[in-house]
Amino acid sequence: MLHVRKIVAVGTMALSLGLGSLSAKADEFINVLTGGTSGVYYPLGVALSEIYGKNIPGAHAQVQATKASVENLNLLQQGKGEIAFALGDSVKLAAEGNEEAGFPGKLDKLRGIAAIYPNYIQIVASKESGIKTLADLKGKSLSVGAPASGTELNARAIFAAAGLKYEDLGKVEYLPFGDSVELMKNRQLDATLQSSGLGVASIRDLATSVPINIVAVPAEDVAKIGAPYIAAVIPKGTYEGQDEDVQTAAVGNFLVSHSGVSDETAYQMTKLLFEHLDQLVAAHAAAKGIDPAKAIEGMPIPLHPGAERYYKEKGLIK
């Protein structure tokens, strides 16, 4: 009897596998590449994976914590993810194959999904350190993000514009946001540079633990860097103890896919992104900056044909 059951079970499995092959893309994996868990990419990526998992038939969506922009783009080129968050300057350097930025060659498979919210360069020092300006960083310890990450590329750009070098610092740490904050709480680090959406959890955590100064990046320094950097303001009250607006630089974030992702999947990923913005805003306030009318502005790589189809439907592309 047991032997018969085994035969029936095997036959049923073979039949189901056969039927499964008839339904195109029945089981589709969507890996959402994000960043460290204490940044903004991660909670937004979790929300996106939930949206895709519930609304794309047969899709199995998951979120992967990474070192963010540079790693994400390299993983996409290798087909090890379907959609990823990345900073605009990183995307541009990836398309150009900038080796110094961490890209082994031109990442020619990258395809754009959408421009989303801007990242603000947020340089935060402990009040105790006495750091109030970029020049005050000389001789002090600063964490600039993971090596060759999008954040660290931002740090390099800011330093060059301000006439500073890493060698001017007392010590350079290459750490994720959360680790940087823990060192600052323990008085083992003077300052952290974090490129993220406003209200990032790591800096909110820091500001509730120790008195901080937010260091300004003057508009004239931002102008020296040029596109895709723009002058921006961190509004007063963004973090506890911040009682005035602070000038800084901002650079746009993008959602990126690759040419191996089907047009239909890319279309669905783009469409669902904009149809569920409320869910993304609930995950993190930075998503308030996502505007479909600006979704193709400054895109440094070719749009994915699936995304292009969505924008044409909405009249955003003629």
Q: Judge whether residue 25 has pLDDT over 80.
A: no
Same domain, 247 and 261: no
Q: What is the rounded radius of gyration, in angstroms, for the C-alpha atoms of the chain? A: 22
pLDDT band at 102 (very low <50, low <70, confident <90, very high): very high
CA nearest neighbour of 257 among 88, 111, 78, 155 = 111
More confident: 81 or 25: 81
Residue 5 located in a structural domain: no
Same domain, 198 and 273: no
Same domain, 137 and 173: yes
Predicted confidence at residue 298, as pLDDT, reads 87
Same domain, 187 and 223: yes
Listed residues 197, 219, 251: the one ending a domain: 251
Residue 12 located in a structural domain: no
Is the distance from CB of 237 to CB of 266 less than 8 angstroms? no
Q: State how far the alpha carbon of 33 is from the alpha carbons of 24, 49, 63, 69, 81, in Å.
A: 24, 10, 6, 9, 6
**Per-residue pLDDT averaged across 250-279, rounded?**
97
Same domain, 304 and 228: no
Predicted confidence at residue 9, as pLDDT, reads 42
Residue 18 located in a structural domain: no
Q: Judge whether residue 189 has pLDDT over 50.
A: yes
Same domain, 230 and 275: no
Residue 14 located in a structural domain: no
State the Cα–Cα distance between residues 218 and 249, nearest whole angstrom.
8
Listed residues 225, 251, 277: the one ending a domain: 251
- Structural domain count of the chain: 2
Same domain, 129 and 243: yes
Residue 234 located in a structural domain: yes
pLDDT band at 26 (very low <50, low <70, confident <90, very high): low
Mean pLDDT of the chain: 91
Residue 10 located in a structural domain: no
Same domain, 136 and 227: yes
pLDDT band at 6 (very low <50, low <70, confident <90, very high): very low
Predicted confidence at residue 143, as pLDDT, reads 98
The residue with tokens 């073979």 is 14
pLDDT band at 15 (very low <50, low <70, confident <90, very high): very low
Question: Which of 15-19, 210-214, 267-271 is predicted with the least confidence, judged by mean pLDDT?
Answer: 15-19
How many other CB atoms are found less than 10 A from the CB of residue 233? 15
Tens of pLDDT, residue by residue over 294-317, are 999 889 999 999 999 999 999 999
Quote the domain boundaries for residue 125. Answer: 119-251
**Per-residue pLDDT averaged across 228-250, rounded?**
95
Q: Judge whether residue 21 has pLDDT over 60.
A: no
CATH number at residue 69: 3.40.190.10
Is the distance from CB of 303 to CB of 296 less than 8 angstroms? yes
Helices (DSSP H) in 97-200: which residue ranges? 150-161, 177-185
* % of the chain beyond a pLDDT of 70: 92
- Using the CB atoms, write b or e for 145-156: b if 16+ within 10 Å: bbebbbbbbbbb
**Per-residue pLDDT averaged across 264-290, rounded?**
97
Same domain, 243 and 283: no
Instruction: Collect all residues with Cβ–Cβ distance below 8 Å to 154 and sequence separation of at least 6.
Output: 87, 89, 119, 121, 145, 193, 195, 249, 251
Residue 16 located in a structural domain: no
Question: Which of 1-10, 21-30, 72-81 is predicted with the least confidence, judged by mean pLDDT?
Answer: 1-10
Instruction: Collect all residues with Cβ–Cβ distance below 8 Å to 16 and sequence separation of at least 6.
Output: none
Listed residues 233, 251, 269: the one ending a domain: 251
**Per-residue pLDDT averaged across 48-70, rounded?**
96
**Per-residue pLDDT averaged across 201-209, rounded?**
96
Same domain, 74 and 165: no
Same domain, 123 and 231: yes
* % of the chain beyond a pLDDT of 90: 85
State the Cα–Cα distance between residues 52 and 44, nearest whole angstrom.
12
Residue 272 tokens, joined: 């669902």
Q: Phi-psi bin for 9: left (phi > 0), alpha (psi -120 to 50), beta?
A: alpha
Q: Look up residue 36 and give its DSSP letter.
A: -
Predicted confidence at residue 17, as pLDDT, reads 40
Same domain, 112 and 138: no
Q: Judge whether residue 200 has pLDDT over 80.
A: yes
Q: Judge whether residue 18 has pLDDT over 70.
A: no
More confident: 318 or 211: 211
- The three-class DSSP label of residue 220 is helix
Predicted confidence at residue 8, as pLDDT, reads 39
Tens of pLDDT, residue by residue over 136-178, are 999 999 999 988 788 999 999 999 999 999 999 999 999 989 9
Q: Look up residue 52 and give its DSSP letter.
A: H
State the Cα–Cα distance between residues 178 and 37, nearest whole angstrom.
8
Q: Judge whether residue 266 has pLDDT over 90.
A: yes
Residue 74 located in a structural domain: yes
Helices (DSSP H) in the chain: which residue ranges? 2-22, 41-55, 69-77, 88-96, 150-161, 177-185, 201-207, 219-225, 263-275, 277-283, 305-313
